Amino acid sequence: MSRIAEAFERARAEGRAAFIAFLTAGDPAPDATERLAAALEQAGTDVLELGVPFTDPIADGPVLQRSASRALEGGTTLADVFATARRIRSATKLALVLFSYANPLFRFGIERSAEEARTAGFDGVLLTDVPPEEAGSFAPPIRASGLDTIFLVSPTSPRERMEKAARLSSGFLYVVSRTGTTGSRDGLPPDLPETVARARRAAKGLPIAVGFGIGTAAAAHQAAALADGVVVGSALVAEAERAGSGREAAVGRLARELREACRR
């Protein structure tokens, strides 16, 4: 059983949804990412998505765009992300997901990227701009390296696309809560229960995680009632941005609050 599967099993046994956090690797520096990862683990985080900074993050809102820009200005490369992951793996027990757009891995080489991700300690890979119909050159080498492949579905995904994404996924199926880009919102969309229900039918027992727009305890609690996992990114990155040198304590406090809200 992979660390990702173990994380969902542990959360289920504790009567809660798994808490999945996102950080941009290298923002504002690699050592800051490592300290934030440690703070997230101490707060009870189950899975950490480590984002590869990219120059054209079309799915990201302003918070994550700024985060990627800071990391790129600091010189963070895909090789640096792997190095950061190695240090996080040696210091924590977090399940780790490599979260990336396709281009950085394509330029590095898909097979090479998959092998580097495995040896760095990643447990899964999520390519945010690769739909299931175009996964043929990406999914097989990633799975061959022993890593989970995680695909996205959204409220606009038809049944056939959800089923294909679920067949290609292991670890969990990621349900995007709303159309548009990442970023905290005041509430969850009213059609989310129906979207999750359709995803569950397609997933056939694979865990479902909901993300995009979740940034408050109330929203996390709502999402946890529907899904097996709750993903929070922009709210944590924004908290680190606001807190400056006190970012680890601030992010830890917010993560602890959100994780507690994942109890059912």
Q: Cα–Cα distance between 240 and 247 in angstroms, integer?
A: 5
* DSSP reduced 3-state for 196: helix
> Is residue 100 helix, strand or coil?
strand
31 is catalytic: no
> What letter represents residue 160's amino acid?
E
How far apart CA 139 and CA 19 sit, in angstroms, is 25
3-state DSSP call for residue 260?
A: helix
Residue with tokens 């359709």: 198
Which of the residues 34, 41, 46, 49 is marked catalytic?
49
- Copy the structure tokens of residue 172: 């969990």
In the residue annotation, 111 being an active-site residue is answered as: no
Query: d(Cα 69, Cα 26) in Å, to the nearest integer?
Result: 10
What Å distances lie between residue 262 and 18, 31, 111, 227, 259, CA to CA? 7, 29, 36, 10, 5
CA 114 – CA 118 distance, rounded (Å): 6
- Contact of 175 with 211, CB cutoff 8 Å: yes
Which amino acid is it at 201?
R
Exactly one of 46, 60, 116, 163 is catalytic; name it.
60
The residues carrying an active-site annotation are: 49, 60
